Every structure is written in C-alpha cells, then in structure tokens.
A and B are shown apart, each in its own frame.
Chain A
Amino acid sequence: MSNPLAPIGRAAQYVLLALAAFVSIFPFYWMVVGATNTSADVTLGKASFGTALFDNIGKLVTTLDLPRLMFNSFFIAGVGTALTLVISSLAGYGFEIFRSRFREKVFAGLLLMLSVPFAALMIPLFIMMANLKLINTYQAIILPSVASIFIIFYFRQATKAFPHELRDAAKIDGLKEWQIFLFVYMPVMRSTYAAATIIVFMTHWNNYLWPLIVLQTNEMKTLTLATASLISAYVPDWGVVMVGAILATLPTLIIFFLLQRRFVEGMLGAVK
C-alpha cells in the first residue's frame, strides 16, 4: 500500500514551505540589518550587521518628533479599533440574531457597498471634512472607517456558531438584550474578537492614503506618514528609514504575536 513517490512528495512539501518562509522572512531581516548599517551600505546591498544603529536612531530622533508621532498613531489606531469592534460586532450580532422582513435586503445592500472603492469616496469625504472644519483632526481620520462592512460581515458569519440556547437561558434569567450582548455574547466570542482586533488594528495603524489627505501638519502626522515622508528626500538616508520602518511595524507584530493563538481559531469560526 505504501506509495513509492511519497518521500519525494514530502521533500517537495518541505522545499516549497522552506522557500516560502525564507522569502517571507528575508525583508524583515533586511530591515533589521539595514537599521544597523549606513545609507551607503544599504544601497550597496550589505546583508550583514553593521555598527551604525545608534547613529541612525540618533538621526531619526532629531528629524522626527517620535513621542508625538507614536501618540498620534496609537491614539488613532486604539480609539479606531475599539469603536470599530463595538459598532461592527453590534451590527453583526443584530443582523444574525434578530428576524426582520428587511434584514436580508439591507444586508445585501451592505455587501454590495463592500465593492465601492475608497477612491470613489475620498474626494466627497475630504470636502465634507473641510466643511465641518475637521481637516487635520483625529475625528476626521477615525470616523469614516469605524463602521466596517467587512467586519460586520465577519461578525455575522461568526455569530452563526453562537449557541442560541445561551441567549434563551439568559432571557429566562431576565437579562436585557444589551446585557446578553455584553455578558454572554462577548465572552463566548472572544476568539472572534481577537482575530478581528488584529485585522482592525492593522487597518487603522497602516492607513496611509486617507491620513495623507487629511493630516496636514507635522504634529498631527502618524508614524506611518512620517516614515513615508523620510523617503521623499532626493537621496533618502536608508539606515534611518529602516529604523522608522521597524518602529512602524513593531506594534502590529506585537499585537499579532499576543493574539496569534486565538487568531486562527477566530478565522475558523468565520469561514464555517
């Protein structure tokens, strides 16, 4: 019964995965190595560690107001994530749990809007924010992305696995609907929330186009925007750029590793 080709297949499997893993990891290595090298070394493709790390950090600290940028980034991503999770999970729960004649029609309408690209919204949104005098504010960045159709869809899918008996039991115990949501639904769905937190935090943290349009002064900029502006120089200082890139990536990496175990679990619930 043993297949003579099986060892070859197994070897091919490892080669494929090892290659994919190498290609995936290499740019991270390059980023870290680059942060320790001078700009000239990075340009010339030096792939070993250098001694310019503290020099590069020093230059970055003098070019950018790092504490301020960090605060902006964390504030926007933190508040944005919290609001998105609350509003979108409420909607996902509502769409799945409650029966109503128009429910499916409204939901189908939402899914249709999922395909409207941001480009079609950005000019009116910009003029709207200008009219509301909100250009260059946190509100202008956060508000338009707080109700995420994708996350509503995600929570609705995941809610299909939520045991209705729990809700019935809670009702018999006299809990109000919002209490059920807060004390029964949220704890049960924590894996779903964890996976959504990663996705939503990343979206807010990495947002580039909209902040580029709306945030206009240096003290309002995010770390991401500031890192991007480092390469707009005619000859960018690559060592410094790499330190900036590490700072811009570290928070999402940390969040991912903290929540990783729940992440796949949560994804599993959503695809079922």
Chain B
Amino acid sequence: MAQSQLARSEQINGWAFVAPALILLGLFMIYPILWSLWMSLQTGRGMVMSFGGFTNVMRLTQDPVFLRALTNTLTFLAIQVPIMLILALLFANALNDSKLWGRSWFRTAIFLPCVTSLVAYSVVFRSMFGQEGIINDMLMNLGLIGSPIPWLADPFWAKVVIVASITWRWTGYNMIFYLAAMQNIDRSIYEAARIDGVPAWARFWYLTVPMLKPVILFTTVISTIGTLQLFDEPNLITLGGPSDSTLTLSLYIYNLSFKFMPSFGYAATVSYVIVVLVGILSVIQFFLARDRRA
C-alpha cells in the first residue's frame, strides 16, 4: 500500500473512532452552551422573552440573593478544597508504606464514602446533624462541647456541615489519585534519601509533593469545578438555608428556572458566572503550577 494511502486510511479510521463522541458532545454540550449564551442576553418570564443585551448582567450586581450565593460558593471553595486535598495527600502518604499493617483495609475504608449515593449520604448527614442528633451526642460525651450546637439552624454551622459533608464524600476519591501517582515514583529515590538521613517529613515535602505536582493540579482543577457546581448537598442537607446561608450558584439557578416562575434568561446569565469563574480559576491554577515547576 502506498504511504499516502495508508496515512489517509489511518485518518479516516481515526475520525471514525472519535466521531460518535464528537457528534454527541456537539449536540448535548456545544449547542446548549451557545444557546445558553444567547439566552443570557434575553429577558422575560416563562417562554416570553425579548432581547435585553446586558440587562441581566446589570441585574446581577443589584441582586442580593445572587451576591449571597456567589459569596457562599466562593467561601466553600476557598475552605473546602484546600482542607480536602491536604487531607487526601496526608492519607495517601501514610498509606504509601509497604510495611504498614492493614494497608488495604484502611485504603478501602477511606475510599468507601465516594462509593455512596450523593442523595443517600446527604440524607444520612442531615439526620446526623440534628439538634439532638448523634454528632452533638458524641461531641458532648467527649467533652468537646458543653451544649448542643444548632448545626442546621445557624448560618455559620450550616456552612460547616456542608464543608464537612463534601470533605467526607470526596477525600478518598482524591486520595486514590495521589496513591496511584505515588506508587509510580521510583522507590530508589526514597532509599537514597533515607540513607542520606533525610527525615520523613522532608522526604514528603521535597520529594513526594513536587513529583505529584501534575496530579495535584489535576485534582485541584477537578475539585474546583465540582465545588463551583455544588448543588446536591445544600439542596438536601440544609435546603440552602438558614436564610440563604448555604445557597449556592447552582441552587440559585435551579430555583430561578424550576422553582418559581421560570426566568431562563437571568438563570442563564448566572450560569455563565460559573463558567467565567471556572475559566479564571483554571488559568490561575495552571499558571501557578507551571511557574513553580520552572
């Protein structure tokens, strides 16, 4: 077979393998994205819409509920993602030790939360954090608190419950990525460091962490995207309350579109706020990772 003919058949084969995915993504992703961009320029209620230009964007700046949802979402992001990823790294590092007894048991136990259904765990957590519930009982028995904490009735503690829940659900998931990456690191590097008398914390900080940088970046971006889209937990555990203290952008979009009189144009504008945030944060994260590697 002639070289060019072979190359052409390779090309055709290649696109044939990729085509089904691309067609579906075009239909159910690219087209809706563009449509929603167009929609964000429309105002009106229900199906009666008219072109409004940047009216919706102006409305954002004067909408206290939106500003609250935005602040809440960013607060969750700033607090939850670092806590979760640091915990995941620590657990993975503790587990990446061939002499550890019960290693696979610990690994399975810590990974198990992310195998549960989001809805199931949300309802279980809601029952645990009742005023007279098990968490308050345990904390009081341990002497950590004197009186029950109104977990779901207080704006601050409700946020804490959401952070604790997501951390419970996703830490093991991130840990598995770190663990897999750690097992790809050449053992002899650690042996050499050990012989040179480098202490364990320094081996972790100066050897493991830098070598995991690509995976850490990957998990940071994925977790950021996930947290910016937070919906299930606030909708099921705290119902966005009390007084909107756990209302997230996704929950607000849902409320705007499906709970009250639909306001699709404005909801689409709010959804683009998430798109822009994800964009900005991903660029920053990539930039930081590249900078440090140089």
Which residues of chain B are near A263, meaning CB under 8 Å? 176
Q: Which of A31, A106, A124, A268 is the one whose CB lies under 8 Å from B124?
A: A31
Q: Are B127 and A120 in contact (CB under 8 A)?
A: no
CA gap between A241 and B125 in the complex, in Å: 12
B70 adjacent to chain A (CB < 8 Å): no
Which residues of chain A are near B24, meaning CB under 8 Å? 87, 143, 146-147
Q: Are B35 and A116 in contact (CB under 8 A)?
A: no
Q: Are B184 and A271 in contact (CB under 8 A)?
A: yes
A229 CB to closest chain B CB, in angstroms? 10
Which residues of chain B are near A147, meaning CB under 8 Å? 20-22, 24-25, 28-29
A1-25 interface with B by 8 A CB criterion:
3, 5, 9, 13, 16-18, 20-21, 23-25
Please encode chain A, from 104 to 121, with 1 for each CB lying within 8 Å of some chain B CB and 0 for all others.
001000100111111111
Q: How large is the interface on A (under 10, 10 to 19, 20 to 34, 35 or more residues)?
A: 35 or more
Which residues of chain B are near A133, meaning CB under 8 Å? none
CA gap between A230 and B278 in the complex, in Å: 34
Q: Are A43 and B130 in contact (CB under 8 A)?
A: yes
B190 adjacent to chain A (CB < 8 Å): no
Which residues of chain A are near B225, meaning CB under 8 Å? 114-115, 117
Name B100's closest neighbour in chain A (CB-CB). Answer: A13
Please encode chain A, from 238 to 272, with 1 for each CB lying within 8 Å of some chain B CB and 0 for all others.
10011011101100110010001001100110111
Please encode chain B, from 112 to 154, with 1 for each CB lying within 8 Å of some chain A CB and 0 for all others.
1111111111111111101011111100000000000000000
CA gap between A9 and B115 in the complex, in Å: 30
Name B18's closest neighbour in chain A (CB-CB). Answer: A94
Q: Are A272 and B184 in contact (CB under 8 A)?
A: yes
B109 adjacent to chain A (CB < 8 Å): yes
- Tell whether A256 pairs with B229 under 8 Å between CB atoms, given A97-B14, A124-B31, A264-B176: no
Q: Are A99 and B229 in contact (CB under 8 A)?
A: no
**Number of A-B residue pairs at CB separation under 8 A:** 280
A138-183 interface with B by 8 A CB criterion:
143-144, 146-147, 149, 152, 177, 181
CA gap between A110 and B29 in the complex, in Å: 10
Q: Are A21 and B20 in contact (CB under 8 A)?
A: no
Name A272's closest neighbour in chain B (CB-CB). Answer: B184
Which residues of chain B are near A113, meaning CB under 8 Å? 25, 29-30, 33
B75 adjacent to chain A (CB < 8 Å): no
Please encode chain B, from 140 to 177, with 1 for each CB lying within 8 Å of some chain A CB and 0 for all others.
00000000000000000000000000001001100011
Name B133's closest neighbour in chain A (CB-CB). Answer: A45
CA gap between A91 and B25 in the complex, in Å: 12
- Tell whether A120 pairs with B272 under 8 Å between CB atoms, given A103-B14, A271-B215: yes
B50 adjacent to chain A (CB < 8 Å): no
B56 adjacent to chain A (CB < 8 Å): no
Q: Are B232 and A208 in contact (CB under 8 A)?
A: yes
Which residues of chain B are near A52, meaning CB under 8 Å? none
Q: Are A17 and B95 in contact (CB under 8 A)?
A: yes
Please encode chain A, from 80 to 107, with 1 for each CB lying within 8 Å of some chain B CB and 0 for all others.
0000000110110111011110010010
Interface centre among B94, B97, B135, B236 (most CB of A within 10 A): B94
Which residues of chain B are near A184, meaning CB under 8 Å? none
CA gap between A227 and B236 in the complex, in Å: 11
CA gap between A209 and B258 in the complex, in Å: 11
Q: Which of B10, B124, B134 is the one whose CB lies under 8 Å from A47?
A: B134
17 A-B pairs besides A121-B32, A121-B33 with CB distance below 8 A are A24-B109, A27-B124, A27-B125, A90-B21, A94-B17, A115-B278, A117-B271, A119-B229, A119-B274, A120-B32, A121-B36, A143-B24, A177-B13, A209-B231, A213-B258, A256-B112, A263-B176
7 of the cross-chain contacts (CB-CB < 8 Å) are A27-B125, A31-B124, A115-B279, A225-B119, A246-B120, A249-B115, A268-B183
